[in-house]
């Protein structure tokens, strides 16, 4: 039996192809960064063709290095940066412009002009009316790229998030599909009815014929011949939902929090949609065999990127891992507080114009104090998310963490202390690609069902809360000062 699985993890700054075995063990990976484009302030673009090239080249590197042919691969899984919007020509396959990336804020004014629609958009999609999601980006492309609107009306253009574009490319145009998790981030998809919403299509002036078919996360998304013989694409999910699956958060109340460049906390809310009163997003966790699981999500735009800023912007240290010893060595009576709003504040504030600040500087403040306060600030933002989830009546019974920052033990212990929950770190912190691998493996029958996946879960370390005083209250005061 073919037992190896390849997960394609198409992220915001790099693409990875990861090889897993039938027990979910990571065997090897290939990674490539690709170019980012910042044509104007607040604009962020990717070239879809460069994304595709990075996928091809990481797949080739991985398979060559491991002497793999298509007959060794049971299935391919895809996970991807969500919301990023691509429009391409159905006949020529050519994108009509660069992709507009989820971070891009060019549609902020348009969103403001729709403020009367906020409530109905939230009811249908679970999302806040924000440039973050695909709908206003797609509207922008159709109205600003010459001739696009007419071509779309004629049925000559296709819209997709990155998963859809990659499926289309991998299957040489045979499959035009997406999965429910990616669809749930477009702001065009009704998460209750689980279909494209006619009212939203009218609101954003999007012709329905340019939208892909929406499928379960475990599904036959088509086959690819790029490695010779045919391999089925058996699993697809957006990156944060893939991490939820990779962390095996299959029961209501299970939470995963990813601390990479940004931080994304998601709680499984089971078969019910929890509508947030606290500016969190209701979204689809996954749908397998037609059974839907919803989730509540909070995102913090700046997490590891604040560490990068200390390292590259302020030259405080050479390697991010040094933050651990700096934080440990910092003075215990420093009053420094950092608000890391370097690119605005995400949930629960949603204040794009807020900017960062450092409070409480004195003559003896040093690099260690500011570093420690920066790490703490990301924990305080996590505490905000947790409190918002609790207020929204989400169950909350365990916290699984992953992402680059959780290599830092001081950070994980403080996270447990301040959130007052047990924090568990898995052995594989590469949970996004693991989730895509699980989905693909489920389709191929390499894994029996989602319950069987739990037996592969390995915990590296568990952090239990220690009762220590913390400065969350004071920090909230500091945040008040930067809100616009």
In the complex, the residues that contact ligand ADP under the rule CB under 6 A are 11, 13, 260-261, 304-305, 307-308, 320-321, 323-324, 403-405, 407-408
Question: How far is the C-alpha of 134 from the C-alpha of 188, rounded, in Å?
Answer: 8
Decide: 18 and 9 in contact? Cβ < 8 Å. Answer: yes
* Residue placing its CB nearer to ligand ADP in the complex, 31 or 422: 31
CB atoms within 10 A of CB 360: 15
Sequence-distant (≥ 6) Cβ neighbours of residue 300 within 8 angstroms: 262, 263, 264, 265, 345, 346, 347, 378, 381, 382, 385
Q: Return the number of the residue (318 or 467) whose C-beta is nearest ligand ADP.
A: 318
Please identify, using beta-carbon distances, which residue of 57 and 320 lies nearer to ligand ADP.
320
Sheet strands side by side (includes 423-426): 281-288, 291-300, 263-270, 254-259, 398-402, 423-426, 459-463
Q: Which is nearer to ligand ADP, 247 or 261 (CB)?
A: 261
Of 471, 373, 459, the closest CA to residue 422 belongs to 459
For ligand ADP, the closer of residues 288 and 307 by Cβ is 307
365: Cα separation from own chain's centroid: 35
CB of 425 to ligand ADP, least distance (A): 12
User: Which DSSP string corresponds to 360-419?
Assistant: ---TT--HHHHHHHHHHHHHHHHHHHHHHHHHTT----EEEEESGGGG-HHHHHHHHHHH
User: Looking at beta carbons, which residue is closest to ligand ADP?
Assistant: 404
Q: Minimum CB separation from ligand ADP for residue 278, in Å?
A: 25
Which residue has 């504030």 as its token pair? 349
Nearer to ligand ADP, 47 or 308 (CB): 308
Q: Which is nearer to ligand ADP, 234 or 403 (CB)?
A: 403
User: Closest approach of Cβ 66 to ligand ADP, in Å?
Assistant: 23
Q: What element of type H or E holds 425?
A: strand 423-426
What is the closest distance, in whole angstroms, from the C-beta atom of residue 387 to ligand ADP in the complex?
A: 23
Minimum distance between the CB of residue 9 and ligand ADP, rounded to whole angstroms? 9
- E-strand ranges in 34-170 read 45-46, 73-80, 86-89, 99-100, 157-160
Torsion of CA 409, 411, 417, 418, to 10 degrees: -170
Residue 82: which residues within 8 A CB-CB, separation 6 or more?
Answer: 102, 161, 181, 182, 185, 238, 239, 240
In angstroms, what is the minimal distance from the CB of 91 to ligand ADP?
35
Strand (E) positions, 239-303?
254-259, 263-270, 281-288, 291-300
Task: Give the shortest CB-443-to-ligand ADP separation in angstroms.
Answer: 25
Nearest to 139 by CA among 106, 167, 91, 180: 106
Which of 72, 324 has the CB closer to ligand ADP? 324
Nearer to ligand ADP, 136 or 432 (CB): 432
The 3-state DSSP class for residue 275 equals coil
Beta-bridge partners for 37: 45
Which residue lies nearer to ligand ADP by CB, 286 or 301? Answer: 301
Could you give the CA distance from residue 80 to residue 182 in angstroms, rounded to a whole number?
9
Q: In the bound complex, what is the minimum distance in angstroms from residue 396's beta carbon to ligand ADP?
A: 23
Collapse the DSSP code of 98 into the 3-class scheme (helix H, G, I; strand E, B; otherwise coil) and give the result: coil
Task: Report the first-to-last Cα separation within the chain, whole angstroms.
Answer: 59
Closest to 305 in 3D by CA, of 426, 376, 404: 404
Minimum distance, C-beta of residue 157 to ligand ADP, in the bound complex (Å): 31
With beta carbons less than 8 A apart as the criterion, state whether 344 and 332 touch: no
- Residue with Cβ nearer ligand ADP (238 or 252): 238
Of 98 and 323, the one with the shorter C-beta distance to ligand ADP is: 323
Q: To the nearest whole angstrom, how small is the minimum distance from the Cβ of residue 410 to ligand ADP?
A: 8
């Amino acid at each position: 039996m073919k037992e190896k699985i390849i997960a394609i993890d198409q992220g915001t700054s790099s693409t990875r192809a990861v090889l897993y075995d039938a027990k979910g063990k990571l065997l090897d990976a290939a990674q490539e960064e690709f170019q980012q484009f910042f044509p104007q302030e607040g604009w962020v673009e990717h070239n879809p063709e460069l994304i595709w090239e990075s996928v091809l080249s990481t797949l080739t590197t991985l398979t060559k290095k491991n002497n793999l042919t298509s007959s060794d691969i049971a299935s391919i899984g895809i996970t991807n940066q969500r919301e990023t919007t691509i429009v391409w020509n159905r006949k020529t396959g050519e994108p009509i412009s660069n992709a507009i990336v989820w971070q891009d804020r060019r549609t902020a004014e348009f969103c403001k002009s729709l403020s009367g629609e906020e409530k109905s958009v939230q009811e249908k999609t679970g999302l806040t009316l924000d440039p973050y999601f695909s709908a206003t980006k797609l509207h922008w492309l159709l109205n600003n790229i010459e001739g696009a609107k007419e071509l779309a009306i004629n049925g000559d253009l296709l819209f997709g998030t990155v998963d859809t574009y990659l499926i289309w490319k991998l299957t040489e145009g045979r499959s035009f599909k997406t999965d429910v998790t990616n669809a749930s981030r477009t702001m065009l998809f009704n998460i209750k009815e689980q279909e494209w919403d006619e009212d939203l299509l009218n609101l954003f002036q999007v012709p329905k014929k340019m939208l892909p078919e929406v499928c379960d996360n475990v599904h036959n998304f088509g086959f690819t011949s790029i490695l010779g013989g045919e391999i089925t694409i058996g699993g697809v999910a957006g990156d944060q939902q893939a991490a939820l699956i990779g962390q095996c958060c299959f029961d209501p109340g299970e939470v995963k929090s990813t601390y990479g460049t940004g931080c994304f906390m998601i709680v499984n809310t089971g078969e019910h949609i929890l509508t947030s009163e606290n500016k969190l997003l209701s979204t689809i966790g996954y749908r397998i065999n037609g059974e839907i699981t919803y989730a509540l999500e909070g995102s913090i735009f700046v997490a590891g990127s604040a560490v990068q800023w200390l390292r590259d912007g302020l030259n405080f240290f050479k390697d991010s891992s040094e933050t651990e010893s700096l934080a440990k060595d910092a003075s215990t009576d420093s009053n420094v507080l950092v608000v890391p709003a370097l690119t605005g504040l995400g949930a629960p504030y949603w204040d794009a114009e807020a900017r960062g600040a450092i409070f409480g500087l004195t003559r003896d403040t040093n690099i260690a104090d500011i570093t420690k306060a920066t790490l703490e600030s990301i924990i305080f933002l996590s505490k905000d998310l947790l409190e918002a989830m609790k207020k929204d009546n989400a169950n909350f019974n365990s916290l699984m963490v992953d992402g680059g920052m959780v290599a830092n033990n001081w950070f994980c212990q403080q996270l447990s202390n301040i959130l007052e929950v047990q924090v568990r770190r898995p052995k594989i912190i590469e949970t996004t690609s693991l989730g895509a691998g699980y989905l693909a493996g489920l389709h191929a029958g390499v894994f029996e069902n989602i319950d069987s996946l739990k037996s592969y879960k390995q915990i590296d370390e568990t952090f239990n809360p220690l009762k220590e005083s913390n400065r969350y209250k004071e920090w909230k005061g500091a945040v008040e000062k930067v809100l616009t």
